[in-house]
A = this chain, B = another copy of it.
Amino acid sequence: MEFGYDETTTELAGRLSAFMDECVYPAEAAFEHQAAESGWSAPPLLDDLKDEARRRGLWNLFLPGDHGGAGLSNLQYAPLAEIMGRSPAIAPAATNCAAPDTGNMEVLAQFGTEWQRKEYLEPLLRGEIRSAFAMTEPDVASSDATNIATSIARDGEEYVINGRKWFITGAMNPNCKIFIVMGVTDPDAASHRRQSQILVPRDTPGLTVKRGMTVFGYNDSDHGGHAEVIFEDVRVPADHLIGEQGGGFAIAQARLGPGRIHHCMRLIGMAERAVEMMCKRALGRTTFGKPIAQQGVVQDWIAESRVKIEQLRLLVLKTAWLMDTVGNQGAHAEIQSIKIATPIAVEWILDKAIQVHGAGGVSQDFPLAALWAGARSLRFADGPDEVHKRSLAYRELKKHMSQ
């Protein structure tokens, strides 16, 4: 048992932190300003940051294996995701490590055909296009994958897709060129063999990106929003299917583990940033004759935040280590645990940081409220916490069933 980061991680973390200090934080104000003017497209300055990140060797750090990324393990990448999470609107995108592209690239790298990889993985790895993952549906509780209703029906050499998806992150961005769509190909198969995933180019007839959903008033236009997307008799060639027919659930599971690690570590990065902001504000603001920092309740928040963060980080890192050593399946309970523990704790920390900032804290003048909305929405992304707790409880109960 050893709690220090390895050399590769330490070196990359240092380099990434320098990039944050020198390029990312200084660009935040301008980024926000551009975002307000660039519609659903990414703010133009992002391209410069991407060039710079590429130059500094901070590109595709997320991608394991030898598909052209950094080939880091989950445990090595996790601390980097935390650092990126300190400026979550910019840093992941600038380093080509932003969701949902990351998951989509992993899926294509692992399950895609050569053609699929050439056509879609390569431009994604180069950061030329963006992509979306279309899974969640408005009419059913998507936490139960067997509820998915979108149909992907084989018709000769094509598949025909019909259905309605929403909260499809990134899809409002016109540069989001490719959708990975999850739907039912085999309605009569066993429940986990019904779904498949298929590639649908943005300009395919019948695909309508209808509107952007808001998250506590935010449309998140800087990273392509969260779209409602309608599929009406959308036809794609059969070679657009990813992996085998009926394998959609397994592919979804495969992307889930790393995705959780990334999300949770970025949340921890946000939490660290929030603690910093909370401390600075508390030191700089005076009420009733003394700095807020001297108020016991504020001190209590700061200490609780530190204690929460230290615990969360270790749990996420251990989960990453388990994924690296015993695989997603062996890390299943931990993957659920970090999903249960992280968003709610980080939400709490952000709430306290907001409270220390007063009215400004809920406004556009600080990033805290927007970060909060992101953390809050992760309490049901990939299924509400309650579903994961129930599942974790069953696992715990099972240990004692035969006793």
Contacts and interface: CB of A to CB of B under 8 A. Distances in A.
A365 B386 CA distance: 22
A267 to B, nearest CB: 14
A87 B184 CA distance: 40
Contacts of A307: 315, 337, 340-341, 392
Given A300-B393, A312-B311, A355-B379, A215 B362 contact: yes
B136 A359 contact: yes
A38 to B, nearest CB: 17
Nearest to A276: B400
A216 B362 contact: yes
Interface stretch (A107-115, A231-239, A282-290): A282-290
B340 A355 contact: no
Contacts of A222: none
Interface in A143-199: 143-144, 147, 166-167
A209 interface: no
Interface residues of A, number: 95
Main secondary structure of the interface of A (DSSP, over half): helix
A130 interface: no
Interface stretch (A50-58, A247-255, A369-377): A369-377
Contact of A213 (B296, B355, B364): B364
For A143, A307, A312, A396, which residue has the most chain B Cβ atoms within 10 angstroms? A307
A398 to B, nearest CB: 9
Contacts of A321: 1-3
Contacts of A364: 213-214
Contacts of A379: 355
Contacts of A18: none
A118 B4 CA distance: 40
Interface string A365-399: 10001101100110111001111111011101101
Contacts of A300: 296-297, 386, 389-390, 393
A380 B386 CA distance: 24
Contacts of A363: 167, 213-215
A75 interface: yes
Contact of A1 (B215, B303, B317, B390): B317
A393 B303 contact: yes
Contacts of A388: 303
30 contacts: A1-B3, A1-B321, A3-B317, A3-B318, A141-B286, A142-B358, A144-B287, A147-B287, A167-B363, A214-B364, A216-B216, A216-B370, A217-B217, A282-B397, A283-B397, A295-B296, A296-B299, A297-B300, A299-B393, A302-B397, A303-B340, A303-B392, A304-B340, A306-B396, A310-B318, A310-B337, A311-B341, A314-B315, A314-B318, A362-B373
Closest 8 A/B residue pairs (Cβ): A296-B296, A217-B217, A217-B218, A299-B393, A303-B389, A311-B311, A314-B314, A141-B287
Given A1-B5, A214-B217, A295-B296, 10 more contacts: A142-B358, A143-B358, A216-B373, A217-B218, A280-B403, A297-B386, A300-B386, A303-B393, A311-B311, A314-B318
